[in-house]
């Protein structure tokens, strides 16, 4: 079977390069883990009450992880998805000697390098690749590091993070078709490639571009260079619309719930937004190449879209967005909430309702 990445080497590289995180005692670490678990449960109640969405499927409890565990979990998830896709497209043809001996190992080192970098930046994640319906991860060292840098109240900041990440878990567990739809779009993106050899080469070039950016902030190439076919661009438009919706919804919920349960939320939001916008030249280059700048715009654009819809049809009316893939917003509707309301609710849908 063709091997695109030496996944074991990727995991070893990520583990070796991941930083250990802020200095904490054993007692402090134990307290952080316990509080994050408790606050996840508290956040779940707040999110359910505010959104009206409740899990329709069972999900595992939150995992509080360190940076190495986060990287290892993501490598395992990517392996579960990418390996079968590449295998199917290649017809299980064995790779050439050089591809097996050099290509997959080089890509493994590069992938591990990228994930090691990301492992020091991510606060939490709802990881959907490795298991159904997914797994909520909170990266304890990063949460502690950021709350210290912001001078934030630890309990308030941790609950604030939990509100965002639990909203993502709710999106996938209250909407059981969401994970299959997302994975289907990832597969459609791969299927839209013009030939397996070109696909693997472009994927390798994309991983290499990210790895180089970690070392060379002056690089001007972009991972979007791997998107070369019109069919892939069409899939990417749908994925962009979906991710903008999900991120904007999470931002809208945390901003809606936060003032009710987090006394210092305004200070936290202001400090965190400054942190998002700041960064040294290396970090800014990597954010651009990883698409983090795009993600930051998604937070703002998605939040504005959700606010516009809720303002017109209430929360219950907004929740129709999760009725089926057909009711998800199109890319051009994200800047025009009224267009989505008219399409899904009809011409009378713009009347405000309780939600």
pLDDT digits (tens, 9 = 90+) for 117-159: 889 989 999 999 988 999 999 999 999 999 999 999 999 999 9
Long-range contacts, stretch 151-156, CB < 8 angstroms, 24+ apart: 151/271, 152/264, 152/267, 152/268, 152/271, 153/263, 153/264, 153/268, 154/35, 155/35, 155/39, 156/262, 156/263, 156/264, 156/265, 156/268
Higher local confidence (pLDDT), 264 or 18: 264
Confidence of residue 260 (pLDDT cuts 50, 70, 90): very high
pTM of the model: 0.85
Higher local confidence (pLDDT), 129 or 190: 129
Taking only Cα atoms into account, the Rg of the chain, rounded to an integer number of angstroms, comes to 21
What mean pLDDT do residues 290-296 have?
53
Structure confidence at residue 298 (pLDDT)? 66
Higher local confidence (pLDDT), 344 or 3: 344
CA angle 238, 162, 143 (to 5 degrees): 105
Higher local confidence (pLDDT), 111 or 4: 111
What mean pLDDT do residues 224-249 have?
80
What mean pLDDT do residues 159-168 have?
98
In angstroms, the CA 345 to CA 327 distance is 10
Confidence of residue 273 (pLDDT cuts 50, 70, 90): confident
What mean pLDDT do residues 85-111 have?
65
Confidence of residue 307 (pLDDT cuts 50, 70, 90): very high
Contact 251, 302 (CB under 8 A): yes
Percent residues over pLDDT 90 in the chain: 54
**Is pLDDT above 80 for 210?**
no
Let me know if domain 1-175 sits in CATH 1.10.10.10.
Answer: no
In angstroms, the CA 307 to CA 253 distance is 10
Structure confidence at residue 192 (pLDDT)? 76
Residues in the chain: 355
Work out the burial of residue 207: count CB atoms within 10 Å of its CB; fewer than 13 is exposed, 13-18 middle, 19 or more buried: buried
The string of DSSP codes covering 297-311 is HHHHHHHHHHHHHHH
Residue 132 dihedral angles phi and psi, to the nearest 5°: -100, 125
Confidence of residue 111 (pLDDT cuts 50, 70, 90): confident
Confidence of residue 189 (pLDDT cuts 50, 70, 90): confident
**Is pLDDT above 70 for 224?**
no
Residue 278 dihedral angles phi and psi, to the nearest 5°: -85, 180
Q: HSE (CB half, 13 Å, CA atoms) of 320?
A: 18
Task: Measure CA of the first residue to CA of the last residue in the chain; give whole Å.
Answer: 52
Tokens for 21?
Answer: 């995180």
Structure confidence at residue 20 (pLDDT)? 82
What mean pLDDT do residues 21-44 have?
96
133 upstream amide cis, omega within 30 of 0: yes
Whole-number average pLDDT of the chain: 84
SS3 content of the chain, % helix, strand, coil (to 5): 70, 5, 25
Listed residue (1, 18, 25) closest to 73, CA to CA: 18
Q: Tell me: the pLDDT tens digits for 61-79?
A: 999 999 999 999 999 998 8
What mean pLDDT do residues 26-36 have?
97
Confidence of residue 98 (pLDDT cuts 50, 70, 90): very low
CA pseudo-torsion sign 291, 294, 300, 301 = negative
Structure confidence at residue 88 (pLDDT)? 64
């Amino acid at each position: 079977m063709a091997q695109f990445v030496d996944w074991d080497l990727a995991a070893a590289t990520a583990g070796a390069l991941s930083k250990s995180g802020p200095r904490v005692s054993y007692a402090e670490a134990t307290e952080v883990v316990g509080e994050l678990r408790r606050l996840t449960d508290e956040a779940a109640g707040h999110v359910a009450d505010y959104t009206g969405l409740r899990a329709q499927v069972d999900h595992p409890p939150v995992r509080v992880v360190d940076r190495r565990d986060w990287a290892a979990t993501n490598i395992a998830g990517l392996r579960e998805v990418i390996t079968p896709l590449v295998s199917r497209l290649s017809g299980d043809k064995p790779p050439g000697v050089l591809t097996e001996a050099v290509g997959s190992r080089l890509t493994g080192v590069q992938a591990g390098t990228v994930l090691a970098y990301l492992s020091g930046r991510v606060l939490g994640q709802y990881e959907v690749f490795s298991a159904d319906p997914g797994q909520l991860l909170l990266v304890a060292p990063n949460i502690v590091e950021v709350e210290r840098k912001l001078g934030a109240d630890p309990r308030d900041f941790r609950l604030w993070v939990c509100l965002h990440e639990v909203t993502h878990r709710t999106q996938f567990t209250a909407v059981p078709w969401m994970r299959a739809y997302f994975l289907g779009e990832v597969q459609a993106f791969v299927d839209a490639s013009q030939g397996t050899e070109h696909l693997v080469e472009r994927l390798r070039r994309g991983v290499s571009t990210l790895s180089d950016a970690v070392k060379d902030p002056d690089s001007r190439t972009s991972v979007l260079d791997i998107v070369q076919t019109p069919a892939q661009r069409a899939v990417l438009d749908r994925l962009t619309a979906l991710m903008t919706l999900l991120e904007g919804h999470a931002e809208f919920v945390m901003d809606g719930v936060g003032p009710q349960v987090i006394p210092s939320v305004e200070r936290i939001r202001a400090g965190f937004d400054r942190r998002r916008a700041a960064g040294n030249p290396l970090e800014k280059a990597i954010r651009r190449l990883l698409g983090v700048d795009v993600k930051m715009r998604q937070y703002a654009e998605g939040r504005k879209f959700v606010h516009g819809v809720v303002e017109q049809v209430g929360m219950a009316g907004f929740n129709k967005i999760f009725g089926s893939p057909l009711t998800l917003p199109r890319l051009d509707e994200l800047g025009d909430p009224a267009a989505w309301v008219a399409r899904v609710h009809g011409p009378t849908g713009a009347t405000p309702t309780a939600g």
